Amino acid sequence: MATTSEKLPFKRVHIIGIGGAGMSGIALVLHERGIVVTGSDLKSSRYVRELEAAGIEVHVGHEAATVDAVRPDVVVVSTAIPETNPEVVRARELGIEVWPRAKMLPALSLGHTTVAVSGTHGKTTTSSMVTTMLDRMGLDPSFLIGGFVEGYDTNAHSGRSQYYVAESDESDGSFLYFDPTVAVVTNIEADHLDHYGTIENLEKTFGQFMDSVGPEGHVVACGESERVRRVAAASSANVVLYGMAGEGEFDYVCTPEPSHHSIESHLVVTTPSGVAVRVTIKANPGRHNMLNATAAIAVADVLGLDVEKAAKALSTFAGVKRRFTHVADIDGITVVDDYGHHPTEVAATLSAAAGLDYDRVVVVFQPHRYSRTQALSEQFGGAFDNADVLYVMDIFSAGEMPIPGISGKTVAAAVERLGHDVEVRYVPNRRELTAALVRDVRPGDLLVTMGAGDVTLVGPAFVEAKREADSERA
């Protein structure tokens, strides 16, 4: 099993763009396996600070001289790093191998029983659930996840067991580098079409991902997705389907149970052998997360683990940061933050929010990427139907160039045109947004900030401004 540096073909690794969620995780796992890791990024961040606290040298800024100073055996880059980056240019001049992130991920999984979790939505939560479940069963898995798992305060760890859990990214096809024992597919929807071109190409690539498990592996797939079922039916892999009771014929059936705690979800998962186990989700409420929990139990079962013990272990899951994460309570207002940025994610999260005991659901949404906003503008129209009030910010570009005529107003207009009973306000100015929230959000409301960009700063800014306003009135 490849758990030590002697099993890897290098001793020193330099990571360009080390501050990203995925890249920082790779850095931590390499560091824990005894590799000398250095890195660079344009600015400091929470991920960078965590790496520095672990003893990893991080350079702020990209300079060719850094490569000369650290002299790595291999340089790792993400898809966001161009060939013109001075450190990439210098590495190639020196004859140092430059690996894409996608090549390093499977290198770390060699010799392990690998669970690779993919899908348009839910992969971070599902991979976090599987990780928590295995860990609380005493199995100490290695893991690389695109979010901080509550209770661990990290997104990566090099464990001592045979198990390796990875959130495998379909956005650029890099999940095909994996050779998983179990491949989880939570759903397949039209996203990342800037890379794939067509939904047919996306489905074809997911089919290749399913086939990658080989004859002795398993695919755990959500049978509620028509596209997933179609792709799974054409796969040569051993496929098991999961879904809600009454929604179709599934191998693993989820039956929700009544909950007396608004933030919790209770469910029973029935396996193909007829064993029924109870699971409690203490955080991240909603139907979609019950399905994610069902996928985790299915993973345990196909791995040959005790599903009763797995259910008890999974019930300790405390959530994932930025997945309906509690920010604060102030003046009778509850503030939560969520990463949802695709219409399906938004709709699922707000469906869960609507089922909680609040007078109104007030949403602040920040669209992510101009291309995504343009491609999915019509779908956003009905995604906020479970909100009472919607504030739309301007687009978080994620490095994209603006597209003429596409802005946060595009989403606001779609909701006004296609949504039902939603009060919509387009507020691109941050200061005006905070002032509007302080003025309009009232006791009994649930305030949800949503998006994949820096909208996460809005909740704390609102809380601070609210306290200041209360202090002035006092």
Q: What is the pLDDT along the chain (474 residues), one digit of tens a residue?
A: 333 444 778 999 999 999 887 788 899 899 988 999 999 999 888 889 989 999 999 999 999 999 999 999 999 998 789 999 999 999 999 999 999 887 888 788 878 899 999 988 888 889 999 999 999 999 999 998 876 676 676 778 888 899 999 888 766 656 777 789 999 999 988 665 566 678 788 888 888 999 999 888 999 999 999 999 999 999 999 999 999 998 889 999 999 987 654 567 899 999 999 999 999 988 767 788 899 999 999 999 999 999 999 999 999 997 777 778 888 889 999 999 998 898 988 998 898 788 787 899 999 999 999 999 999 999 999 999 999 999 999 999 988 899 999 999 999 999 999 988 899 999 999 999 999 999 999 999 999 999 989 999 999 999 999 999 888 876
131 plus 275 within the same structural domain = yes
354 plus 244 within the same structural domain = no
124 has catalytic annotation: yes
3-state secondary structure 279-316: EEECCCCCHHHHHHHHHHHHHHHHCCCCHHHHHHHHCC
262 plus 383 within the same structural domain = no
Name every residue whose Cβ is closer than 8 Å to that of residue 268 and which is 6 or more positions away in sequence.
Answer: 254, 255, 257, 276, 277, 278, 279
408 plus 455 within the same structural domain = yes
167 has catalytic annotation: yes
287 plus 343 within the same structural domain = no
Catalytic residue (choose from 123, 126, 150, 271): 123
pTM of the complete model: 0.72
With contact defined as beta carbons under 8 Å apart, do 360 and 384 qualify? no
In a domain? residue 320: no
261 plus 331 within the same structural domain = no
In a domain? residue 22: yes
Among 256, 287, 315, the domain boundary falls at 315
Distances 156 to 99, 111, 166, 170, 193 between C-alpha atoms, Å: 20, 18, 9, 19, 29
Secondary structure E strands in 29-181: 36-41, 57-60, 74-77, 97-100, 113-118, 142-149, 154-157, 163-167
Catalytic residue (choose from 50, 87, 167, 170): 167
157 plus 288 within the same structural domain = yes
- Residue 60 sits in a domain of what CATH number? 3.40.50.720
Look at the chain and report how many structural domains it folds into: 3
Among 315, 343, 359, the domain boundary falls at 315
351 plus 419 within the same structural domain = yes
In a domain? residue 231: yes
- Residue 412 sits in a domain of what CATH number? 3.90.190.20
90 plus 234 within the same structural domain = no
CA distance 49 to 108: 23
In a domain? residue 6: no
- Residue 235 sits in a domain of what CATH number? 3.40.1190.10
Closest CA relative to residue 126, chosen from 338, 249, 298:
298
In a domain? residue 254: yes
288 plus 164 within the same structural domain = yes
Catalytic residue (choose from 38, 124, 126, 186): 124
160 plus 260 within the same structural domain = yes
- State both tokens at 124: 């971070």
360 plus 440 within the same structural domain = yes
Residue 39: domain span: 12-99
With contact defined as beta carbons under 8 Å apart, do 424 and 415 qualify? yes
Instruction: Using DSSP, state whether 184 is helix, strand or coil.
Output: strand
Among 45, 68, 99, the domain boundary falls at 99
**Residues of the binding site:** 119-125
**Residues of the binding site for ATP:** 119-125
Which helix (H) or strand (E) segment is 86 a member of?
Answer: helix 86-93
In a domain? residue 104: no
In a domain? residue 1: no
In a domain? residue 7: no
Distances 382 to 39, 251, 422, 452 between C-alpha atoms, Å: 43, 32, 10, 19
